[in-house]
Chains A and B, each alone.
Chain A
Amino acid sequence: QVQLQESGPGLVKPSETLSLTCTVSGGSVSSGSYHWSWIRQPPGKGLEWIGYIYYSGSTNYNPSLKSRVTISVDTSKNQFSLKLSSVTAADTAVYYCARAEYYGGNSHHIDYWGQGTLVTVSS
């Protein structure tokens, strides 16, 4: 059973960089056919896909966040990480790490999610 666990500060000051790490157990970030993803959900609002990384290091980001987002992977620690720069109150959200399985060129689904971690942007 694959498990994902987010970790990082729960409070970040405006204009600073939000940094989170996702530790994967029961599976390997080096496995093919998976996109290791970050997704967020502002309080009381819907889900927003932030981006994903493949084990090779190739990335894909939400165009609306692309200028501020960096996702990286550390295969030796079986972890992947999110950095979001120049944060504002609008970045306050529950941040989820997740595994997306993709296949056939036109299909994917997110089969495992972390429990989520609330990050508040406030001075």
Chain B
Amino acid sequence: SSELTQDPAVSVALGQTVRITCQGDSLRSYYTSWYQQKPGQAPVLVIYGENNRPSGIPDRFSGSSSGNTASLTITGAQAEDEADYYCNSRDSSGNHYVFGTGTKVTVL
């Protein structure tokens, strides 16, 4: 079982804001990165480090962290944001990478 826990599914109305969370003790010490995965495709990095977006990722995606919880926020969700989202960081030992359980985002 994963050491990083995410809500299985969330929904958001078109144009509204949704926050996806990732919880784990290791997040107090290590940064989290976030990945978007659409059906049949490889994951795509959307947020990394303190709150960095790779080139080409819209600025409606943002990241934050507090204590043992990291968050990915989509401000003004678009239809194309409907996807699975995974967080990634270290495990509690700090020695290994680990993915969160994943959150399916539905845009209504």
Instruction: Report A's interface with B, CB cutoff 8 A.
Output: 37, 39, 46-49, 52, 60-63, 96, 100, 106-111, 113-116
| Supplied contacts A47-B88, A109-B49, 20 more A-B pairs, CB within 8 Å | A37-B97, A46-B2, A46-B99, A46-B102, A47-B35, A47-B43, A47-B86, A52-B97, A106-B90, A107-B48, A107-B49, A109-B45, A109-B88, A111-B45, A111-B48, A111-B54, A113-B42, A113-B44, A114-B42, A116-B42
B1-33: contact bitstring with A at CB < 8 Å (1 yes, 0 no)?
Answer: 010000000000000000000000000011101
1/0 contact string of B61-88 vs chain A (CB within 8 Å): 0000000000000000000000000101
Hey, which chain B residues are within 8 Å of A63, CB to CB? 96
Least CB distance, A60 to chain B, in whole angstroms: 6
Q: Beyond A107-B30, A116-B42, is A49–B48 a contact (Cβ under 8 Å)?
A: no
Q: Check if B101 is an interface residue, CB within 8 A of chain A.
A: yes
- Please name the residue on chain B nearest to A37 by beta carbon: B97
- Chain B residues with CB under 8 Å of A49's CB are 88, 96-99
Measured CB to CB, the closest approach of chain B to A50, in angstroms, equals 9
Contacts of B49 in A (CB 8 A): 107, 109
Total A-B contacts with CB atoms under 8 angstroms apart: 60
Is the pair B99, A107 in contact by a Cβ cutoff of 8 Å? Answer: no
Q: Which residues of B are found within 8 Å of A114, using beta-carbon distances?
A: 42
Is A47's CB under 8 angstroms from B102's CB? yes
| B99-A48 in contact (CB<8A) | yes
Contact B101 A46 (CB under 8 A): yes
Write out, one digit per residue, whether chain B residues 94-108 have a CB within 8 A of any chain A CB (1) or not (0).
Answer: 011111111000000
**Once bound together, how far apart are the Cα atoms of A115 and B37, in whole Å?**
12
- Among residues of A, the one whose C-beta sits closest to the C-beta of B102 is A46
Give 6 nearest A-B pairs by CB, closest first. A109-B48, A109-B33, A107-B31, A113-B42, A47-B99, A46-B102
Look across to chain A and name the residue whose beta carbon is closest to the beta carbon of B34: A109
CA distance A13 to B50 in the complex (A): 44
